[in-house]
């Protein structure tokens, strides 16, 4: 009975594409040519190592020359294809982790397969089989202990001292507001428009624009995946069309949007099935950001049980984000609807814990945001950040930083998108200066 070989072929392609595109050496302390599953990818990695040792330039031309000299039938256009596949994506260290992990899994599979063959032989020798497995696993265990990314990783003080905080390569949004592997929880009542807010952020970041001031590092277009469960094709289409129309996309931006944004509906990947789906989705799209709408539709746990929530967030989801480098942005419902009077006087920090379920949701997420309606007939909402707001670049209607802004549903009737609210949108104070009923002033009238 054959068993599929563990392999992350996309990670292999993307890693080699970045190395060829940017002229970088193979980081052999983290991955070696033998760790690649594809023989072609292994040969290309070996050629890159050879050029590095000779202190020669690394690109598709020099690598193809080395491969030709070795008699390896890998054409130049194949190398160029690797570069085109990776596009403008930066080096993602999670690719190294995935390649090395699968190499170790293949070694485990090889050891166990050999042991199984020996067991099925006419006269199996238990002692010899045990010795073979023990020696193989011992060697593999030693290799794993020296591999990067496993167990506690010491942060060298010299490296911390010299860290360039203004040019962090892992920064994705804001001023180190959200970095690779980060997370954001957006809390709001049902029916407020969280899904359209999510769509607007996704569209703007996918084309390299800011979202109410929050922009990507260097205004880089981001690869974004959305997985949601509550809205059908028509609902999603309306929000996508209206947000895109409101953004007045030029031809280049339209092309970027269709290249960088992927939207899915999933009503079955719940509980234990969710982490695997999430990882596959992130990997398939090389996503910088993945939106989940709403989080409760996928968790499959008692969200009021802190132990279950902790396991779900810190043991199921966190390793995926750290491995892939993707940022998770989750839309989350409040509990019992809050009256306007209940929210009056509450600080931004108070509102951080307005989400339904355990406080662990807010504790885990790197940033927590809220979306609550302001009292009055006009659909005006407070949108604010609660933890790392000063790093976000969130801006109000005047273009100035603010930890909390006022936004509203579009003024255009029927349009599904968000815009800044104006002072005229807010309830106006009562200007009637006549004495109120029961006031002593009423007796002073002429």
Q: What is the CATH number of the domain that holds 131?
A: 1.10.860.10
Tokens at residue 91, please?
Answer: 């080096």
Q: Binning pLDDT at 50, 70 and 90, where does residue 147 land?
A: low
Q: Do 282 and 344 belong to one domain? A: yes
pLDDT at 441: 38
Q: How confident is the model over 93-124, as pLDDT tens digits?
A: 889 988 988 988 888 888 888 888 888 888 88
Q: Do 126 and 248 belong to one domain? A: no
Name which residue leads in pLDDT, 70 or 17: 17
Q: What Å distances lie between residue 188 and 103, 177, 276, 312, 356, CA to CA?
A: 44, 21, 27, 21, 10
pLDDT at 1: 42
pLDDT at 446: 37
Least confident residue range of 309-313, 337-341, 392-396, 416-420: 337-341
Q: How confident is the model over 385-406, as pLDDT tens digits?
A: 988 889 999 999 999 999 999 9
pTM score, whole prediction: 0.64
Q: Do 241 and 366 belong to one domain? A: yes
Q: Do 137 and 200 belong to one domain? A: no
pLDDT over threshold 80, residue 435:
no
Q: What is the CATH number of the domain that holds 383?
A: 3.40.50.300
Q: Is residue 326 part of a domain?
A: yes
Residues 239, 195: contact at Cβ < 8 Å? yes
Q: Binning pLDDT at 50, 70 and 90, where does residue 90 land?
A: confident
pLDDT over threshold 80, residue 345:
no
pLDDT at 445: 40
User: Average pLDDT of 260-283?
Assistant: 92
Residues 355, 294: contact at Cβ < 8 Å? no
Q: Do 224 and 331 belong to one domain? A: yes
* pLDDT-above-90 percentage for the chain: 44
Q: Binning pLDDT at 50, 70 and 90, where does residue 436 land?
A: very low
Q: Do 281 and 420 belong to one domain? A: yes
274's enclosing H/E stretch is helix 273-285
Q: Do 388 and 263 belong to one domain? A: yes
Mean pLDDT of the chain: 85
CA 265 to chain centre: 17
Q: Which residues contact 289 (CB under 8 A, 6 or more apart)?
A: 172, 202, 205, 222, 223, 224, 225, 326, 327, 328, 329
Q: Is residue 156 part of a domain?
A: no
135's enclosing H/E stretch is helix 126-146
pLDDT over threshold 90, residue 261:
yes
Residues 184, 173: contact at Cβ < 8 Å? no
Q: Which domain holds residue 222?
A: 171-424
d(Cα 28, Cα 189) in Å, to the nearest integer? 50
Q: Is residue 155 part of a domain?
A: no
Tokens at residue 63, please?
Answer: 């690598």
Q: Is residue 290 part of a domain?
A: yes
Q: Binning pLDDT at 50, 70 and 90, where does residue 426 land?
A: confident
Q: Do 208 and 75 belong to one domain? A: no
Residue found by looking up tokens 């931006």 in the block: 253
Q: CA angle, 367 as apex, 383 and 390 as ends, to 5°?
A: 70
Q: Is residue 254 part of a domain?
A: yes
Q: Is residue 183 part of a domain?
A: yes
Q: Binning pLDDT at 50, 70 and 90, where does residue 263 land?
A: very high
Q: How confident is the model over 30-54, as pLDDT tens digits?
A: 888 888 999 899 999 999 998 998 8
Residues 198, 289: contact at Cβ < 8 Å? no
Residues 267, 229: contact at Cβ < 8 Å? yes
pLDDT over threshold 70, residue 437:
no
Q: Do 261 and 138 belong to one domain? A: no
d(Cα 337, Cα 353) in Å, to the nearest integer? 14
pLDDT over threshold 70, residue 382:
yes
Q: Is residue 164 part of a domain?
A: no
Tokens at residue 167, please?
Answer: 């040019």
**What is the DSSP-derived secondary structure letter of residue 399?**
S
pLDDT at 125: 85
* Sign for the pseudo-dihedral over CA of 278, 261, 216, 405: negative
Q: Binning pLDDT at 50, 70 and 90, where does residue 444 land?
A: very low
Number of CB atoms found within 10 A of residue 64's CB: 21
Q: Is residue 321 part of a domain?
A: yes
Q: Binning pLDDT at 50, 70 and 90, where does residue 353 land?
A: low
List, edge to edge, every strand of the sheet that includes 183-188. Answer: 261-265, 224-228, 289-293, 327-333, 183-188, 367-373, 380-385, 404-409, 418-420
Name which residue leads in pLDDT, 355 or 15: 15
Q: Do 177 and 35 belong to one domain? A: no
Number of CB atoms found within 10 A of residue 187's CB: 28
pLDDT at 169: 83
Q: Do 183 and 138 belong to one domain? A: no
The values of phi and psi at residue 280, to 5°, are -60, -40
User: Average pLDDT of 168-196?
Assistant: 91
Instruction: Indicate the number of domains in the chain.
Output: 2
Give the closest residue to 94 by CA, choosing from 265, 271, 342, 287: 287
User: Average pLDDT of 155-168?
Assistant: 84
DSSP string, 276-341: HHHHHHHHHHT-SEEEEE-THHHH-S-TT-HHHHHIIIIIIIHHHHHHH-PEEEEEEEBSSPPPHH
Residues 298, 327: contact at Cβ < 8 Å? no
Residues 36, 52: contact at Cβ < 8 Å? no
Q: Do 84 and 228 belong to one domain? A: no
pLDDT at 410: 93
């Amino acid at each position: 009975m054959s068993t599929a070989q563990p392999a992350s072929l996309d990670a292999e392609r993307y890693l080699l594409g970045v190395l060829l595109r940017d002229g970088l050496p193979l980081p052999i302390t983290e991955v070696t040519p033998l760790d690649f599953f594809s023989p072609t990818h292994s040969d290309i990695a070996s050629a890159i190592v050879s050029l590095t040792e000779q202190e020669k330039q690394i690109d598709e031309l020099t690598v193809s020359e080395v491969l030709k000299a070795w008699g390896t039938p890998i054409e130049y256009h194949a190398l160029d294809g690797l570069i085109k596949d990776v596009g403008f994506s930066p080096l993602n260290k999670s690719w190294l982790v995935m390649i090395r992990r699968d190499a170790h899994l293949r070694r485990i599979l090889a050891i166990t397969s050999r042991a199984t063959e020996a067991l099925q032989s006419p006269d199996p020798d238990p002692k010899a089989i045990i010795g073979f497995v023990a020696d193989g696993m011992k060697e593999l265990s030693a290799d794993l202990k020296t591999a990067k990314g496993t167990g506690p990783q010491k942060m060298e003080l010299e490296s911390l001292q010299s860290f360039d905080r203004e040019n962090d390569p892992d920064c994705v949004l804001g001023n180190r507001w959200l970095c690779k592997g980060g997370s954001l929880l957006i809390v709001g009542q049902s029916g407020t428009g969280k899904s359209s807010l999510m769509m607007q952020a996704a569209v703007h970041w996918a084309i390299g624009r800011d979202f109410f001031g929050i922009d990507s590092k260097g205004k880089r277009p981001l690869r974004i995946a959305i997985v949601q469960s509550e809205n059908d094709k028509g609902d999603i289409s309306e929000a996508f069309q209206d947000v895109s129309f409101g953004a007045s996309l030029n031809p280049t931006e339209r092309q970027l949007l269709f290249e960088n944004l992927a939207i899915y509906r999933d009503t079955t990947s719940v509980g234990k099935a969710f982490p695997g789906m999430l990882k596959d989705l992130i990997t398939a799209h090389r996503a910088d950001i993945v939106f989940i709408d709403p989080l409760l539709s996928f968790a499959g746990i008692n969200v009021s049980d802190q132990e279950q929530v902790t396991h779900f967030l810190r043991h199921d989801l966190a390793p995926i984000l750290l491995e892939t480098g993707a940022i998770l942005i989750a839309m989350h419902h409040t509990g019992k609807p809050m009256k306007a009077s209940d929210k009056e006087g509450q600080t931004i920090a108070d509102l951080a814990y307005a989400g339904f379920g355990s406080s662990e949701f807010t504790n885990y997420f790197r940033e927590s945001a809220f979306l609550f309606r302001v009292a009055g007939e006009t659909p005006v909402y407070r949108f604010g950040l609660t933890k790392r707001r000063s790093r976000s670049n969130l801006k109000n209607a005047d273009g100035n930083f603010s930890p909390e802004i006022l936004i509203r549903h579009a003024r255009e009737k029927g349009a599904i998108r968000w815009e800044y609210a104006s002072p005229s949108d807010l309830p106006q104070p009562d200007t009637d200066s006549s004495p109120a009923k029961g006031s002593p002033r009423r007796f002073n009238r002429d």
